[in-house]
Structure 1
Amino acid sequence: MKKAILYFFVLMSLHSVAQKNNIDSSQKDSSTQIKKVLVEKRVVFDTQKVITYDTIRVVELAKSNEFAKKKTVKETVEQTVEETLESDKPDLSKIFSPGKIFWSIIVCLLAYILIRLLVIIVERFAERSTNHRITLKSISPIIRIIGWTLAAIIIIQGIFQPPMSTVIAAMASVGIAIGFASQDIIKNIFGGIMIIFDRPFQVGDKIEVGDYYGEVKEIGLRSTRIVTKDDSLVSLPNAEVVNKAVSNANAGEANCQVVAEIYLPLDINTDMVRQIAKEAAQVSRYIYLNKPIVVLFFNEVKDRRSFLKMRLKAYVSDIRNEFAFQSDMTEIVISELVKKGIIKKEELM
């Protein structure tokens, strides 16, 4: 399109120059030359386009050189346009010189070190603070995004300094290539961005996605990493996380509800068991007393036998101690029930 506009305005200008200088009819017949050049070059142009700086420069050059060299309109148009477009091509040897490549590597290394250092500092502060731990941990992915974005801007605009047209063309080419080659990666990246800004959960939360339940350790651009109760690190693709139902146990709070389940005989005294269960939760060192303790009973059949299932619900003060609190409540309740002769060990499941 750019080349078509240049051809058009150069030819129009030459036609005007020919009329002013009384050139013979073979050179004044610019309309025929216009048609021939455009047909040969297979160019389509839009006369409503705005004349750019490049177009004006080509026109002025054509006016000054055409009749001095006594060339035909076609020769002048082709030579002038080709020379102008050739002069607009960026010098890649200057843009990607060894010195600039060296400094871009230095910037990447410094960015990596600074980002890593800031994340470590934030993580350490988060581990020392119970009340603000989750808030501090949620800053880590934002630090990474801002840090690498600034590094990319410094490298492109501060070091290489390519022409804007080159940047746009490169971005378009890279975008098309990535779009065809790695659609799944792009889905995961957009999923990661949605998670960071929509915030259905954050680093430090306990979430359940599909068959996996654990604490969110990291929200990356490609995947979300959680640590399960058996201390396994699971990486979940962000596209999968976004498209599935996510259960958040604490939603940014330091505390969360913990449930301990115990199967008991049907003829047991539920009032006495309820009192023992509440006391067992209260004496645990992990208890969060600002929220209620609830004890529920359900009839359930298991292995062709009927049982009374007790569910003890209480809140742990620090979600990192969720499983320790669950184990603590279960052990204390069973110990007290056996000690008081309410149940026998062989009656437990």
Structure 2
Amino acid sequence: MLFKFITFCFALLAPSVFATEELTANVDHIQQFASLIRWSGVLLSILVIGATWLLLRFLGSIVDGVSGQFVQYRMPLQKMQSFLQFFIYMTAGVVVFMMSFRINDQILALIGGTLAVSVGFAMKDLAASFIAGLTVMIDRPFQVGDRVTFEGNYGDITTIGLRSVRMRTLNDDIITIPNNKFLSEVVVSGNYGALDMQVVIPFYIGLDEDIVLARDLIQEAASSSRYIHLPKPVTVLVQQTISENYLAIKLTCKAYVVDTGYEKLFETDITLRVMKEFKEHGIKPPKIALQS
């Protein structure tokens, strides 16, 4: 009976003993961390942070003022400003850290572990893009100079690198795409290494119009364009289109432009020619059906 009573009492007291030990360990950790802080340096660090903020504001005002007066120097000044801001941030961070902490083996181990984790996360995406870049170069789903569609963007591939691919859109924007995106997304290439490319141009006319004449006019306009690539055929497909508000005949012109750089000029040239011929021959667009 005495043994059971002692066991019961120990079971009641054990949780509180363990909780006390855990609390004592946490207090020891806090005291160890507090001993690493140089409190006098913390106050000076606040002044350093404030001075850094004022310096960055002053630098930004100078760059804005000079850029407003001398527009030709705006881009170089902004690049220099970005470099100086990065340098000032790094310098201020090192100064604040050196002033606020007592450097010892624990601090060095903490810094090393933090850097290792940060570099590991950064290198993960970089390594994925590097491997994807090798895959793109070997598999070659597209080439430099190809006109491609990717994630709603349409333009020419200008550079294929180990980390990213650069595309110049028809609006003259440069888009940088990480290589690892090409492993899971669909890429549409319009010419795949060739200089010429097929261009598809739709036209719509009413049901009562002369379909054969309209087809011939479209084919003649495409064949006589200065941008046409004649070794390849010009095709006009006819299809009846039923929409919610109208019935129409859709005529799709498929022709090859001599150079991908002339795609939009080719499309504009054919459209203007066809619209002129339609007007002269009285071929009218579809009429919108009246809703009841």
TM (normalized to structure 2)? 0.55
Query: 1:303 Cα shift?
Result: 5.1
Q: Which has the larger radius of gyration?
A: 1
Q: Match of 1:324, as an amino acid?
A: L
Query: 1:236 Cα shift?
Result: 1.6
Query: What SS is found at the alignment partner of 2:209?
Result: coil
Q: Match of 1:268, as an amino acid?
A: E
Query: 1:347 Cα shift?
Result: 6.0
Match of residue 160 from structure 2? 219
Change (3 A) 1:230 1:262: farther
Match of residue 264 from structure 1? 205
Q: Is the 8 A contact 1:217 1:225 kept in 2?
A: yes
Which segment is superposed worse, 279-288 or 207-216?
207-216
Is 1:181 equivalent to 2:116 in the alignment? no
Match of residue 270 from structure 2? 329
Q: Is the 8 A contact 2:229 2:257 kept in 1?
A: yes
Q: Match of 2:265, as an amino acid?
A: A
Change (3 A) 1:316 1:252: same
Query: 1:283 Cα shift?
Result: 1.3
Unaligned stretches of 5+ residues in structure 1: 1-173
Q: What CA distance in whole angstroms lies between the structure 1 residues aligned with 2:165 and 2:209?
A: 45
Q: What CA distance in whole angstroms lies between the structure 1 residues aligned with 2:251 and 2:116?
A: 57
Match of residue 255 from structure 2? 314
| Number of aligned positions between the proteins | 174
Decide which of 180, 192, 196 is 1:255's aligned counterpart.
196
Query: 1:335 Cα shift?
Result: 0.9
Q: Is the 8 A contact 1:179 1:186 kept in 2?
A: no
Match of residue 239 from structure 1? 180
Q: What CA distance in whole angstroms lies between the structure 2 residues aligned with 1:189 and 1:240?
A: 12
Percentage of identical aligned residues: 35
Query: What SS is found at the alignment partner of 1:311?
Result: strand
Query: What SS is found at the alignment partner of 1:182?
Result: helix
Query: 1:262 Cα shift?
Result: 1.4
TM (normalized to structure 1)? 0.46
Which segment is superposed worse, 300-309 or 188-197?
300-309
Query: 1:268 Cα shift?
Result: 1.7
Q: Report the RMSD for the aligned CA atoms in angstroms.
A: 2.4
Change (3 A) 1:325 1:207: same
Query: 1:274 Cα shift?
Result: 1.1
Map residues 15-30 of structure 1 onto 2, 5 A cutoff: none
Is 1:341 equivalent to 2:285 in the alignment? no
**For each residue in 1:207-239, what CA deviation from the matched residue of structure 2 results, as whole angstroms up to 9, or x when unmatched?**
112212211111122221112223322222211
Q: Match of 2:167, as an amino acid?
A: I
Query: What SS is found at the alignment partner of 1:315?
Result: strand
Query: 1:343 Cα shift?
Result: 2.3
Query: 1:179 Cα shift?
Result: 4.2
**For each residue in 1:60-82, what CA deviation from the matched residue of structure 2 results, as whole angstroms up to 9, or x when unmatched?**
xxxxxxxxxxxxxxxxxxxxxxx
Match of residue 66 from structure 1? none
Change (3 A) 1:321 1:197: same
Unaligned stretches of 5+ residues in structure 2: 1-114
Change (3 A) 1:224 1:175: farther
Q: Is the 8 A contact 2:247 2:287 kept in 1?
A: no
Q: Match of 1:232, as an amino acid?
A: D
Q: Match of 2:196, as an amino acid?
A: N
Q: What CA distance in whole angstroms lies between the structure 1 residues aligned with 2:116 and 2:269?
A: 54
Decide which of 263, 268, 279 is 2:220's aligned counterpart.
279
Match of residue 74 from structure 2? none
